[in-house]
Amino acid sequence: MAKQQTHQTQPSPEKSPRRQPTASGERDAAVNRNASHIYFLMEKFEAGVALTGTEVKSVRAGKANLKDSYGLIKDGELWLLNCHISPYAHGSYSNHAAERTRKLLVHKEEIKKLIGKTQQKGLTLVPTRLYFKGGRVKVELALAKGKQLWDKRETERKKTADKEAREAVARSRKS
């Protein structure tokens, strides 16, 4: 009896072990760059975000914006308002509303601490970045106090002075 031959096929090319940088948590999905200009950011903490499936896909695609959003404590729960997550391009009738109010997931003890801190004069909750951690969407919230116009000018002067000092050091090293 003849030995039966097996058909040899080429192994399929290896899939890239790296995921998309936003989805793997290497890069932030959205950053509120304007927050540090408008507010003094005091204390930061992390919260989960309750999202629908199409919202997660939009965030993964980088279609989120935190520019005018803020956090609010109402009835013992923490909410994210005015966060714009664009509708998913391949979504169907079950697509989400772009600026709906989203629930933030934190422990009761943290909410109690935040209630005490946000009732102080002039403190508010500002989201600074939206990112993935372990496959879940997280938001970094900061307790913030609004800056006056002169505070903003002073911050800009310090930033300019630091930049000039760094450039002077770099020039001296080159020569």
pLDDT score of 2 more than 70: no
Tell me, what amino acid is at 33?
Answer: R
Q: How confident is the model at residue 127 (pLDDT cuts 50, 70, 90)?
A: very high
| Residue 15 maps to a domain | no
Residues 6+ positions from 90 with CB-CB distance below 8 Å: 57
Residue range of the domain that includes 26: 21-146
Helices (H), the chain: 21-24, 35-38, 53-60, 108-118, 149-174
| Residue 58 maps to a domain | yes
pLDDT score of 169 more than 90: yes
| Residue 26 maps to a domain | yes
pLDDT of residue 13: 60
The burial class, CB within 10 Å (0-12 / 13-18 / 19+), for 23 is middle
| Residue 4 maps to a domain | no
What percent of the chain stands above pLDDT 70? Answer: 87
| Residue 6 maps to a domain | no
Size (the chain), residues: 175
Q: How confident is the model at residue 146 (pLDDT cuts 50, 70, 90)?
A: confident
pLDDT of residue 78: 93
Write the pLDDT tens digit of every residue in 23-76. 676 778 889 888 888 888 999 999 999 988 888 888 888 888 999 899 999 998
Residue 55 dihedral angles phi and psi, to the nearest 5°? -65, -40
| Residue 162 maps to a domain | no
The residue with greater pLDDT, 22 or 100, is: 100
- What is the number of domains present in the chain? 1
The domain spanning residue 27 has which CATH number? Answer: 2.40.280.10
Contact 82, 99 (CB under 8 A): yes
| Residue 174 maps to a domain | no
| Residue 82 maps to a domain | yes
